[in-house]
Homo-oligomer: A and B are copies of this chain.
């Protein structure tokens, strides 16, 4: 039997033990939760076990059948498919969430294929660093950060209640947003900044880096995060990113006029 609606999950399966999945697993275990790990890479499972992030794990989805809550932290381009496959093995009443960085297409795809009885709500913890994989995972990445939940009119309120309780227990801040609104916001605060960081990093000549101080370092940091992840994000959130880029270009033109106009 699954947990009563809204009660705190005893067993959580984390599917995908990368930077975010691994950090969530570490934080959940530190909060006293039993964490089951799933990752296609046996080395990631071994690292997660060695670091105390998971109690046990598997390279297939078998563990999700034992979980009250399943968190799918697969790469964005696969997250909906993995969530649907996990949902098919979950017990009735269990809660399913994902941590994909773009929500509208993921939430629509999962909702369209969701088996009856599984309670799904999309999620997105606003955390990360330039690291990659379980090796870079760190519960401290999450503390104090916003964890967005994106319920729709079809989302069972109990799924939201369970996730709000979990998020709060991890020292994070739950924020509810419409999936489309989420995608519009993250285009502005995350995806656009990545594109600017990448273009800036390429615009700085190698010999100029010699005099680079903290501003250069912090403005080009995110450019060094995994390119494949960002390519998937740009594909999935193209329209919102283009709108954010257009706003930016208008502001840059105004800054240029104000500060660099012929004196």
Residues of A within 8 A of B (CB): 126-129, 145-146, 148, 175, 177, 182, 184-186, 188-190, 192-200, 202-205, 207-216, 218-219, 221-222, 230-231, 234-235, 238, 241-242, 244-245, 247-248, 250-252, 254-256, 259-260, 263
Chain B residues positioned under 8 Å from A208 (CB to CB): 184-186, 188-189
CA distance A213 to B251 in the complex (A): 21
Establish whether residues B214 and A128, one from each chain, have CB atoms under 8 Å apart when the complex forms.
Answer: yes
Chain B residues positioned under 8 Å from A192 (CB to CB): 200, 203
Establish whether residues A256 and B260, one from each chain, have CB atoms under 8 Å apart when the complex forms.
Answer: no
CA distance A254 to B195 in the complex (A): 10
Known A192-B203, A199-B248: A128·B260 in contact at CB below 8 Å? no
CA distance A231 to B258 in the complex (A): 9
CB of A216, distance to nearest CB on chain B (Å):
4
CA distance A205 to B252 in the complex (A): 15
Chain B residue with the shortest CB-CB distance to A209: B189
Known A213-B190, A214-B127, A215-B194: A255·B199 in contact at CB below 8 Å? yes
CA distance A263 to B232 in the complex (A): 12
Q: Which 4 A-B pairs have the closest CB atoms?
A: A126-B213, A199-B252, A185-B208, A199-B251
Chain B residue with the shortest CB-CB distance to A181: B207
